[in-house]
Structure 1
Amino acid sequence: MSGDLNNGVQVSIPAPLTLIQRLKGLGSGMPTRIVLGALFLWGVVLVGPGIFKWLLLDATFSGDAALCHQNGGACWAFIGTKLNLILFGAYPPESLWRPITFVALIAAVALWCLLRVRHHTTAIVLWVLAALIGYLLMSGGLFGLESVDRARWGGLPITLLISIAGLVCAFPLGVLLALGCRSQMPLVSVPCRLYVDLIRSVPAITIVFMTFAIIPLILPDELIFDKLFRAGIGLSLFTAAYFSEALRGALQALPVGQRQASASLGFGYWGSHAYVILPQVIAHSLQPIANIAIAFVKNSSLLMIIGLFDLLGSARSSLYDENWQGFYKELYLFVGVIYFVICMYIQHYVASIERERRARLYQ
């Protein structure tokens, strides 16, 4: 419906039915939000005091298991007693300074990356160097350090080492797979497509176990990798398929003009992808990349099936002590907080990169 004013300007007036529907839409969500908010507050009031009492008021922070059972609250004394086993597994107590140094180095690199968001290349180099230094430090055999069998490694350093090394290897492979799936040559695109579809059709635990079991069968004895490397290879192969799909979607959404512009500037296939296409594709895929990285960190807990005690595996091994049985709730809550901090850091770091990128675009 429209009407003419005296000055000749035509103004569009919404139909009565459309206007009524809009007014209803403005208020339709309000009762729902009120009800959900009231239910949330009711839940907090109902269970909040009990949880707070169990966590802190009735908790036992020092003492033995008998005192924990007597108080009835959370037994944080169990976490304190088994802290070294939970965080570092069966690593020799006299050499615990080595995994502690590695974890501290990772924390320092993580903090630097948050403070220097723009330095992406330097951040990648620092993560790789930190993982390499941590591996050499924990292995020993150099600079007078006593060698430590990798069977005694465990806990948080294993989770961090596998996560960093696996993601660094999986992402370039995912880029190549994404480009291969988009290739115009069937000899390249078909195998890449089959690989991605096959990997995405099976659980991660299957890939880890098959990698662990098959590599010794197809390689000579002198070339068989340690099970730590085999676990990293399995998770990297699995994660690369998901990186490929995240990047392939962004490649398809990229305007054709970007490829034509890079070609007009004289870039070849690899030059145009390295300097023009892939930077834009990665920038538009940061959230999917963060989700895949978080999933990788959580999938590291699957290493228990091949005898590697990551953070969750080392934590579970502490429950075998007959003197401290029955305190699994505290244990899983403590480990869950560590995983939560790692995953929230990844999400916050990616969000910082996105904010920095938007700030540069609007400068």
Structure 2
Amino acid sequence: MTSFPARSNSRVHRIGFLIFLALLAVLLQPFFRWALLDASWSGDAETCRAGAGACWASVRLRLEFLIYGFYPAELRWRPFTGLIIQGLALLAIWALPGIHQRLSRSYCVVLAAFVASFWLLAGDGLLLTDVPSRLWTGFSLTVLLAFGGFVLAFPLGVLLAFGRRFGNDYVVALCGCYIEVMRALPSVVTMFAILVIAPYLLPSVIGENIFLRILLGFVLAMSAFYAEALRGALLTLDKGQIEAAQSLGLRRFSIHCRIILPQVVILSFPALMNINLMVFKDTVLILTYGYYELLGAANASVNTQEWSSFAMEMFLVVYLVFLGAGMLISVVGRRIEESRQRV
């Protein structure tokens, strides 16, 4: 019953981990040689074909297109500024206790970043010249669509969840039908339907804007998943809290917003963060409609006779970008969750 077994187990674990790393290094040695040692970092396509490794020159030459796509070259400071604003929003949520300890403030920061980035890309015709939405492409579009999908789909999901849980029979049936239909349909089908019918049913400010039509379909599809995550937490909530609040004379709106909603969000937070990651990853669906986000820009970059032989390098970069962005979202989410647990 001494501490020796614990040290022995710890030593065994370390040795096992080192053996695993050694085996992994041996297995990945050909990849590292291809990706780093024998890689071509500059030159043209002929230089890459003469080499034996990866052609990172193709990525370097198409880097601006991957980020900005077809956005006018003289105005690319605007999507760049938007990316900076969105990155600073995530950094502020992660670093500032006054923000990540209050869920409402975190949401407002993301909402403000989305509005500012949308204004920069679109322009207003006064301070900034208008840029057609069909030119919003590349990684800047991916991030903007992900931010917009969250800030608009989440509140709609809240309304659906509360309507299905606390509404009258008609509201419950309507919300339940909407949620089940949207969850059953592939998101790409919902987005396509909105993309087609929006010009005929909605005002021209939305119907003639490709981004807003796609965003609307994206939001309608994702809101159902938020609603179900929140509804699961609502079912675990003690009804006694509602009765106690009613006995104190609080209005129904105040009970839902100030007592129920904060608890429900905390209880369902891991599921909500999983949906946030799904929202970011599902931005690639818009490639189906010929709208070039990051993956579409990468596909267009290698869909040429000159660079078609180096598609692996381009898509590997796209994978690493999505991996890094997903890890960033997870880190910010864990920061919020840990701060709430300490409160």
Structure 2 length as normaliser, TM-score? 0.89
Q: For the residues of structure 1 that align with 2:300 and 2:76, how far apart are their CA atoms? A: 18
Q: 1:318 aligned to 282, 301, 314, which one?
A: 301
Gap regions ≥5 residues in structure 2: 1-12
The worse-fitting range, judged by mean Cα deviation, of 78-87 and 97-106 is 97-106
Check 1:95–1:42 CA distance in 2 against 1; reply closer, same or farther (3 A cut): same
Residue correspondences, number: 327
**Residues 169 and 314 of structure 1, relative CA distance in 2, 3 Å threshold:** same
Kindly indicate whether the alpha-carbon contact (under 8 Å) linking 2:134 and 2:210 is maintained by their aligned counterparts in 1: no
Name stretches of at least 5 consecutive residues in structure 1 with no aligned partner.
1-32
Write the letter of the residue equivalent to 1:262: A
Describe the superposition over 1:213-249 as per-residue Cα deviations: whole angstroms up to 9, x where unpaired: 1222334667624121011111111111011100000
Alignment equivalent of 1:267, drawn from 225, 250, 275: 250
The answer as to whether partners of 2:164 and 2:171 remain within 8 angstroms in 1 is: yes
When normalised by structure 1's length, the TM-score is: 0.84
Q: Does 1:82 align with 2:69?
A: no
C-alpha spacing 1:143/1:223, structure 2 compared with 1 (3 Å): closer
> CA 1:221 to 1:358, structure 2 compared with 1: closer, same or farther past 3 Å?
closer
Alignment check: 8 A CA contact 2:206 2:212 kept: no
- Provide the rounded CA distance (Å) in 2 between the counterparts of 1:278 and 1:270: 11
Computing the radius of gyration over CA atoms, which structure comes out larger, 1 or 2? Answer: 1
In percent, how many aligned pairs have the same letter?
Answer: 32
Return 130-139 or 199-208, whichever deviates more. Answer: 130-139
Counterpart Cα distance in 1 of 2:115 and 2:37: 44
Moved more, 119-128 or 47-56: 119-128
C-alpha contact (below 8 Å) 1:212/1:306 kept by paired residues: no
Letter in 2 for 1:73: G
SS in 2 for 1:60: coil
Q: C-alpha separation between the residues in 2 aligned to 1:121 and 1:247?
A: 16
Secondary structure in structure 2 of the residue aligned to 1:148 = coil
1:58 is aligned to 2:58? no
Query: What is the root-mean-square deviation in Å for CA atoms of aligned residues?
Result: 2.2
Task: Choose which of 39, 43, 47 in structure 2 pairs with 1:67.
Answer: 47
Q: 1:110 aligns with which of 90, 94, 99?
A: 90
Deviations 1:119-168 (A, max 9, x none): 43333333222222222222235455443222222011111111111211
Shift in CA distance, 50/197, structure 1 to aligned 2, threshold 3 Å: same
Is 47-56 or 257-266 further displaced after alignment?
257-266
Structure 2 partner of 1:216: 199
Of 174, 177, 180, the residue aligned with 1:194 is 177
Given the superposition, is the C-alpha separation of residues 157 and 39 from structure 1 closer, same or farther in structure 2, using an over 3 Å criterion?
same
Match of 1:205 among 162, 174, 188: 188
CA distance in 1, matches of 2:238, 2:160: 20
Equivalent residue, structure 2, for 1:150: 133
CA distance in 2, matches of 1:63, 1:199: 49
2:79 pairs with 1:99: yes
Shift of 1:251: 0.3
Number of the residue aligned with 2:319: 336
SS at 2:166 equivalent: coil
**One-letter code aligned to 2:223:** A
Asked if the contact 1:87/1:315 (under 8 Å) is kept, the reply is: no
Show the 5 A alignment for 1:22-37.
none
Deviation per residue, 1:308-334 (Å, 9 max, x gap) = 211111111111232212111111111
Shift of residue 264 of structure 1?
Answer: 2.2
